[in-house]
Amino acid sequence: MSAAQPSTPKLSLGPLLYHWPAERRRDFYYRIADEADLDVVTLGEVVCAKREPFFADCLPGVIDRLQAAGKQVVIATLALLTTPRELAAIGELAAAGMTVEANDVTAVRVLAGQPFVAGPLINLFNEGSLEFLLHEGATRVVLPVELSERSIAILAAHNRDGETEVQVFGRQPLAISMRCYHARAYGLHKDSCQFVCERDPDGLPADQMDGRGLLSINGTQTLSHGYLVLLRELAGLRDAGVSHFRLSPQAGTDMVGVAALVRAVADGARDPAEAEAALRAMVGPVPFINGYLHGREGMAWVPAA
């Protein structure tokens, strides 16, 4: 049995994972507010606490613009919470009436008893973990990218009274570390990193020995090299009970255009294969991947039957 779901799933934009200059990030979100066909936009810093102050002055204006455009705004937490001040900030957001996406179980404890979104960096792989998050107050769960379609269906069916979100576009977040490989790659230490991650607005490539792309490094985070693309799979995910389709922002990609393509496929107004071809032209040479959903290695691309 599939979970309860809207006739048309909602589209959400996940948090920007990369370190962009404040003005570039602000203008990106202003355009998203004004032009993108999205229902939910998640803001906030997930990867590195040192980046947060750069965008703090712009954040209230961005929130106002997105809300004025009718979009639900969610604030994501750091994936690794390490200080009392970071924990206190989460409580302050919730007290101010903001919807918070918890990406660390410590954040779940801070938010316990209040409605929140469980983010994709929490290890949610079975019904027991889901029950825990729902008991603590999660109203929507964003499932990890490693899950297969069958596992997604099981969890969505178990989450009948809540919302289930799945990423359908963008680099897959794979791991987070206390150490910063990005800084080390430039001969620096984490404490004196000079924010070199800003030099790579779409991640630092980490290639295989034969030169083929394997991973992308973003500060302390490791992502896939390829872009997850699940256009052909949207109908099956919707039928399985997925209520929200998530897009992850990528530099050099027209995210307004990506949102329009995903919306058209989700609404049945455009053929998935045609939309996939249009998306390939839009994103350039970055490979498409969808292996995890099909029970394969994550970097695999399973073509249409």
Q: What digits encode the pLDDT tens for the residues 136-191? A: 999 999 999 999 999 999 999 999 999 999 999 999 999 999 999 999 999 999 99
Q: Does residue 277 lie in a domain region? A: yes
Q: 227 with 169: CB under 8 angstroms?
A: yes
Q: Does residue 147 lie in a domain region? A: yes
**Which pTM was predicted?**
0.94
Q: If you average pLDDT over residues 277-295, what whole number do you get?
A: 96
Overall domain count for the chain: 1
What pLDDT is stored for residue 304 in this prediction? 81
3-state SS class at 158: helix
Q: Does residue 180 lie in a domain region? A: no
Q: Does residue 47 lie in a domain region? A: yes
Q: Does residue 287 lie in a domain region? A: yes
Domain containing residue 232: CATH number: 3.20.20.70
Q: 250 is in which domain, residue-wise?
A: 10-173+224-294
User: How remote is the C-alpha of 199 from its chain's centroid?
Assistant: 21
User: How remote is the C-alpha of 212 from its chain's centroid?
Assistant: 25
Q: Does residue 131 lie in a domain region? A: yes
Please write the tens of the pLDDT for every residue from 42-75: 999 999 999 999 999 999 999 999 999 999 999 9
Q: Does residue 95 lie in a domain region? A: yes
Please write the tens of the pLDDT for every residue from 81-97: 999 999 999 999 999 99
What pLDDT is stored for residue 8 in this prediction? 83
What pLDDT is stored for residue 5 in this prediction? 46
- Angle at Cα 286 formed by Cα 267 and Cα 62, nearest 5°? 60
Q: Nearest CA to 220 among 18, 43, 83?
A: 18
* Dist CA 141 CA 138 (whole Å): 7
